[in-house]
Structure 1
Amino acid sequence: MRTGIIVLIVLALLVMVGCGKYNGMVQEDETVKNKWNTVQSAYQRRADLIPNLVSTVKGAANFETTTLTKVMEARASATQIKVDANDLTPEKVQQYQAAQGQLSQALGRLLAVSEAYPDLKANQNFRDLQVQLEGTENRINVARNDFNDAVASYNKTIRTFPNNIVAGVTGFKQKQGFTADAAAQEAPKVQF
C-alpha cells in the first residue's frame, strides 16, 4: 500500500514537471510565431512602398523599363509566397527568403540605375521613398535577427534534457531561422 502511494506521488510529480516543460515549449513556439509575423510585416511594408517608388521613377524620361519590370515581377513573386507561422519548415523559410532576396536584388539594381538620372535624384518624392526603403530594410534586418534569436531559444529549449523527451512525445520539432544568402559569402569587388 505504501509503495503504491509513493509510486503515485512520483508519477504525479513527473506529470507536473512534464506539463511545466510542455507549457514552456508552447510559450517559446508562440514567440517564434510572433517574431515570424513581424518579419512578414516588415517585408510587406517594403512591398507596399515599391509601387510608389516605381510610379515615381516612371516619371523620369527614358528610364529603363526592363529594370522597372524586373522590380515589379520580383515584388509579385515575393508577395505570392506566404509561410504560415504554424508551418515554419526549413524549405518554406528558404523559399520565402529566396523570393525576398530576388526582390532585394531588383531594388538594388533600380537604385543603382537611378544614379544616372539627375532629375530623378532631385525629385523629393523619390528621395523620400529612398529614405523610407532604407528604414524598412533596417526594420527587416532587426525583425530577422529577432526571429533568429527566438528560433535559437526555441531550438535550445526543445533539444535540452529532459525537454527533448517531452518535445519528442508532444511533436515539437526544430525550426529554421534566416541564413545569409550564398552571394553574401563573397566580398564585393571594388574597382577604381
Structure 2
Amino acid sequence: MTEFDTMPSPLGEMLIASDGEALSGLWFLNQKYSPTLDGWRRAPTHAVIRATHEQIDAYFHGDLAAFTVPLAPRGTPFQEHVWRALLTIDYGVLTTYGDIALRVGLPKAKARAVGGAVGRNPISIIVPCHRVIGQSGSLTGYAGGLDRKRALLALEKQGAASRRPEFALTGEA
C-alpha cells in the first residue's frame, strides 16, 4: 500500500508518497503526471514521509544540497536508468538532455527519448530533473511548470545556507 502526506513549500503544495520503506514519489499537487490517491493511506508520521518533509524544508531554506532519504521510483527499466543518471548531477550544476543520453549509453540523437523519461520522473527535486536544460541552454520542459524550474535553479544558484531565499512564481501553480 502506498502511504502519503502533503506538505507546503514555497512553490506550492507537494505530495509525498512512500512504498513503506522508501520514497516512491514527490510531486507538486496537480503537476503533469501526478498520481491519483486511489487506495493510498495518509500517514504523516511515517518515517520516510517525515524525513522527506524535513529534507525538503531544509532544501528550500538553503540548508541542504544533498538528500539522504531512501528512493524507490517506479518506472520502466529505461526510465529508472535515466533517473539514476539524474542523481549524478550535482547541486547547482546544469546539464542537457543530450548529455544525459550519453551518460546512459545512447547517442545524442536519442535525447528526445531521454527527455520523455526525465519528464516522467516521479520524485521531483530529489531526483533533480530541474537541472536538465535544452542543448541551446533553454529551460525546456518540467512537469511542475517552468516557473518552478526557474525558481529551483535560482535557489541552487544562490546557494544561500544562512537565509531563506525569496520565491516568485509568475505562471501557473
What interval of TM-score do these two structures reach, taking the shorter chain for normalisation?
Answer: under 0.3
Give the TM-score normalised by the residue count of structure 2.
0.25
Higher helix share: 1
Q: Which has the larger radius of gyration?
A: 1
Give the TM-score normalised by the residue count of structure 1.
0.23
